[in-house]
Amino acid sequence: MARRRSLLSDETKMHFARLQGAGDRAQPGDYGQLTSREAGNMVKYAIQAAQQALAGQTPDPSRIQ
């Protein structure tokens, strides 16, 4: 079965991991060392950043919880 292509680049995922404090355990292409909570927080951040971008705002890490 074919794999789906990622919508986010590894660079973007690493940026989100660093913002969440998990950048030391994440490696480009391999996020297996992250906990489910950390991975979920990265997804939450990505969704909120996309929503802010669609609203015409610059994503602000301090506003994303």
Domain for residue 65, yes or no? Answer: no
Stated pTM of the model: 0.65
**Angle subtended at Cα 22 by Cα 55 and Cα 4, rounded to the nearest 5 degrees:** 65
**What's the confidence (pLDDT) of residue 62?**
60
Domains: count for the chain: 1
Domain for residue 40, yes or no? Answer: yes
Domain for residue 64, yes or no? Answer: no
For the chain, how are helix, strand and coil distributed in percent, rounded to 5? 50, 5, 50
Domain for residue 45, yes or no? Answer: yes
Nearest by Cα to 42 from 11, 7, 10, 17:
17
Domain for residue 1, yes or no? Answer: no
Provide the residue-wise pLDDT of the chain in tens; the chain has 65 residues: 556 667 777 888 888 888 888 878 877 777 788 888 888 888 888 888 888 888 887 766 665 55
**What's the confidence (pLDDT) of residue 60?**
63
Domain that holds residue 48: 8-23+35-55
